[in-house]
Every structure is written in structure tokens, then in C-alpha cells.
Structure 1
Amino acid sequence: MSDMAIVTLCSAPRLEHLRNQLRATAGVPRVVVWIGDDDAPLLDAESVVRVPPGAAGLRLAAARNAGARAAEALGARLLVFLDADCVPGPELVDRYRDAATQHPDAVLCGPVTYLPARAALDAASLRAATAPHAARPAPPAGTLQRAEPAEYPLFWSLSFATTTAVWRSVGGFDERYEGYGGEDTDFAFSLRRAGVPMIWVGGADAYHQHHETSSPPWQHLDDILRNGALFAEKWAEWPMTGWLEAFERAGAITRENDGWRRASV
């Protein structure tokens, strides 16, 4: 499995994080999908694709699909998706390639470590900092562990890989999702429904560079309500329930039948 490409989505607020990633992935074809409403700057990437925001916000699902098409046009048969905030560990590329050789019919998910502010990004420092997020399985390096059906909602688009054949068979991400939230879990549910294996890839470590966040993400409240309703219509359950319940406790939203809506002021 020698023909691969790394696909990344980015906009201006994450540009410096992206540049760190591009430096770390020199020698591997890179596709950057620029998702802001401005023009992309000069980037050290083999392909730069523009997917501007839609009426409801950033088009993350459409951007990943566009990135996959651009990577395939470069000759890639293995697609490695990395969030713009993430830098790959020194073994990520090889671990994903080896896993794809063993499981060409699967979607592959490596562990993600969240770095503190001003963390060093050299290989030795990254190895020393490795502490995968506890919410997801992280088998020992070199171990491949098949996900149980109940684990599919743990899929993150921060770092994953799959062959172009699997990508085409699933149809990529549902482009009806715009703005923040829902499209990752929707993709995972589509994988589970199609019987596509999901494999936890030990040692395919990615490292998420620090930036300020809020929990729950108040700036995305309306996106979460809109995309959550779309998801519920499709799958008969709501995603992101932890955030929704936090918004509800704060009095911002209220339950209505089987869903949520903004609370009356």
C-alpha cells in the first residue's frame, strides 16, 4: 500500500497548526482543503482545494469528500485524514499503511493525544508526551483491535484512514451537514450499517496541538441543534447528547418531544 495521501481541512485560525503538520509530513502527498471564506495562502502541499462555507457554516462533510477526490486524482489508494490541529507521530504513516494492508476493507482509527500549550513537536518530545484520550480504545503499539458495534460512535475524524475503495463504497460524508457537529457520528453509523469494520490501530498516534475551547461549545449551539435534528431524522436518535444536556442544564435549550429546541426567552 504505497500510494497514499494525507487530507487536511483548514481555515485561517488554524493556519500555524497546519504549517506544523505540513512540516511533519514532508515526503507524503498532502491535500489541503481550504474551508474559509477567503483564499488559501501559499501552502507546502501537493494539492489545495477550495470549499467555501455554505449558508449554515463551514462545510466539513463536503470538504472531506472533496479532499478524498483530490487525493484519488493524485493516485492515492490510501486516504489518511488528519485534523489541521494534529501533527502525526513518527510512526503514524507506517502504522496506517500496515493496517490497511491487513484490513483493506476497514476504516482505521489511531489514538489521539491532546498536547498542552507550547508543547515541543519533535519526535522524541511527542513520544514522551503520548497519553491517548481516555474516551477511546488505544491498544498497544502494533496491535490492531476490531471495534465492537457499540464503539462506532467513538469515531473521530481527527485521525483516521481508509482505502479509496472503502470510501467510495460508503459514499463519504453526508454533505447535508453544515456547520459544527454530527457529521462524524453520521459517518460512523453509515459504516456500521454497511458492515464496514472499524479498526483501532495501536501506535498510529496523532497529537492535537493546543488551542482554546469551551465545553459545551456555546458558539456552535445553533449548529448542534440543526445538525442534531438532521441526524435524529436519519437515525432515530440524537448525537452529542452530553453537550445538549449541558445546554439544557444551563437553560439555553429545552426538550421538545424526542428532541431539543432553543428555550423561550
Structure 2
Amino acid sequence: MTVAVITIVAGRAQHLRNQQIGLARSGRLPDLYVVVAMGDAHAVDQTRCGPMAVTDCRIRTRLLDAPADLPLAAARNAGAAEALAAGADRLIFLDVDCVPSPSLIDSYARSLASPGAPALHCGVVRYLGPEVDLARTEAVGPLGVAHPARPRPESGQILRSDDWALFWSLSFAVAAPTWQRIGGFDEAYVGYGAEDTDFGFRAHRLGIDLVWTGGADAYHQYHPTSPLPTQHLDDILRNAGIFHRRWGFWPMSGWLDGFAAAGLARFDQATDRWVRAE
């Protein structure tokens, strides 16, 4: 088994470094670490001389051109292609904001090796407050607050789920044949929103299972957020329309309704789509 950890990044230099510190402290190191930088040459340089560079882990980097709407789906696909070309047969995708717990890699590896149907494997993501700096505080036990709407299996526990709307790309693992069967993320989705929900539903349509993996906890580093991501308005409206045409229902409905309440978007009955408010 050759395990690759794949992350994509644009900015977030300290978060990337903290992730690499966490990986270097892991109970099990990845065999390969792939960083795809979206228009961020500094992230490539930082990775080549960072904490992972002094371990026994191989490192691959890729620099992509990045328009204003970050190519999240294309970047993840590029990372997987780099990992597969380097011989990886187990892929762990980790958001740049996420620092792995010491048991994350081993827990995902064990879950991927367990008998059963092909599956997407998701771990618990725990949200940290601004007072926690994982560059200085080693994660030796559960930190942060787990997302209340998602399963929270105990260490060593694997929970199967039919709730595909809960799949997310912050932290998940997949075997190479399963990734290839799904075909990666659909690059019709550009920028923020819906590309991971689409990926999950395409996996479900193919009969691939969804499992939640205990012990594969990741710590989500703090950064300022808004309940309504107005900076991604155009991305969300466009990607929601692509998703609706494919699946027959609207993703991100809470945000769409929020945009409408804020006077930023409206549903156009004539065209059956969400558009910017005039």
C-alpha cells in the first residue's frame, strides 16, 4: 500500500506550514505528499524546504495557473494525477486548513484496507478557535469542536452512511481504483461550491459506499468566516445551476435563500435558475 496525502492551496502560508508540521508528527508518515498550488509559487517553494522535506516522505508539487475563480476541482484532479503517476494506490485529500491528528493517516489506511465494497472514507473534522496554534501546540488528544451535523465515530469505529449530502472534501480518503471509477471531480464546477457534493452523488450512483472513519480526525485551523459567503456569490450561483441541471434539486439551499434574503440573488422562474438580483 502506497499512501499519498494531497492538498491544494492558494495563500494560507501558515496553515500550509502547520499542516506539514502535523504530517511530520504523524504516527504513520504518508509515502507521498502532493501539494498543488493555485497561482501560489510561494507554496511550492515553502513545501520543498518545509517540515516534510526532512522526513522519509517523497514530495511532489504542481503549480497551476489560477483565475479569480480558483479551479478547486481541477486542482484536486491534478493532485491525484501526480500521486497516481508516482505509484500511489491510496489517496488522502486534506484541505490546506486541516492539520492531521497523529492517527489520521493510519486510521484511513486501515479503513481503506478493511473488507467491503468500494467506498469513500471520511474522517471527523474538529474546528479550532483562534487561540490554538498547532505550530506550537502538539495535538495529543481531541481538540476543537466536531461539526454537529456529521457523524462522529470513535477511534477504530467505521460507520456506514446513506446521507450523501454530508460528503465533503475537507478530509477524505479513497482507493485509486475507486477514484478512477468515479472519474475525479467534475471540472465544469469552477470556483467555490457544489463540486464535492456532485462528486459524492456520482459515487453513490455508481454503488460506492460512504463510510465515516473513527480516528481519522483532522483539526481545522481558525480563519475568519461569514455565515453567508458573499465573496463566492457568482461561483455559488453558477455551480448551483450546474448541479441542479444534473441532479434535479438545488444544493447549498441555505446560502441561496440567504442571498435572496439579503437582496443579492433571486430565483428566476422563467429560466428556472438563480441569478444575481438586479
Q: TM-score range by the shorter chain?
A: over 0.9
1:137 aligns with 2:151: yes
Q: How does the TM-score come out when normalised to structure 2? A: 0.88
Residues 19-41 of structure 1 show CA distances to partners (whole Å, capped at 9, x for unaligned) of: 11112213422100001265633
Corresponding residue to 2:268 among 246, 256, 263:
256
How far apart, in 2, do the equivalents of 1:91 and 1:104 lie?
A: 23
Instruction: Give the equivalent residue in structure 2 for 1:229.
Output: 241
Alignment of 1:197-212 (within 5 A): 197-212=209-224
1:146 aligns with 2:160: yes
* 1:204 alignment partner AA: A
Corresponding residue to 2:61 among 44, 48, 69:
48
The structural deviation recorded for 1:207 is 0.5
Cα RMSD of the aligned pairs, angstroms, is: 1.7
Q: Assess if the C-alpha contact under 8 Å between 1:4 and 1:75 holds in 2.
A: no
Residues 125-145 of structure 1 show CA distances to partners (whole Å, capped at 9, x for unaligned) of: 452425311111112221111
Instruction: Give the equivalent residue in structure 1 for 2:9.
Output: 10
How far apart, in 1, do the equivalents of 2:137 and 2:110 lie?
A: 20
Instruction: Give the equivalent residue in structure 1 for 2:23.
Output: 25
The structural deviation recorded for 1:174 is 0.1
The structural deviation recorded for 1:208 is 0.4
Alignment of 1:54-73 (within 5 A): 54=67, 57-73=69-85
Corresponding residue to 1:113 among 103, 126, 146:
126
* 1:21 alignment partner AA: Q
* 1:119 alignment partner AA: V
1:187 aligns with 2:199: yes
Which consecutive residues of structure 1, in runs of 5 or more, have no partner in the other structure?
A: none
How far apart, in 1, do the equivalents of 2:214 and 2:276 lie?
A: 41
Which consecutive residues of structure 2, in runs of 5 or more, have no partner in the other structure?
A: 53-58
* 2:240 alignment partner AA: G
* 1:15 alignment partner AA: A
Q: Which has the higher strand share?
A: 2
How far apart, in 1, do the equivalents of 2:174 and 2:167 lie?
A: 13
* 1:47 alignment partner AA: R
How far apart, in 2, do the equivalents of 1:67 and 1:179 lie?
A: 17
How far apart, in 1, do the equivalents of 2:267 and 2:46 lie?
A: 46
How far apart, in 2, do the equivalents of 1:37 and 1:224 lie?
A: 23
Q: Percent identity?
A: 46
Q: Secondary structure at the match of 2:177?
A: helix
Q: Assess if the C-alpha contact under 8 Å between 2:40 and 2:63 holds in 1.
A: no
* 1:185 alignment partner AA: T
Instruction: Give the equivalent residue in structure 1 for 2:56.
Output: none
The structural deviation recorded for 1:9 is 0.2
Q: Could you say if the C-alpha distance between residues 128 and 139 of structure 1 is closer, same or farther in structure 2, counting changes exceeding 3 Å?
A: closer
Q: How does the TM-score come out when normalised to structure 1? A: 0.92
The structural deviation recorded for 1:123 is 7.4
How far apart, in 2, do the equivalents of 1:201 and 1:109 lie?
A: 6
Instruction: Give the equivalent residue in structure 2 for 1:92.
Output: 104
Q: Assess if the C-alpha contact under 8 Å between 1:104 and 1:163 holds in 2.
A: no
How far apart, in 1, do the equivalents of 2:41 and 2:109 lie?
A: 34
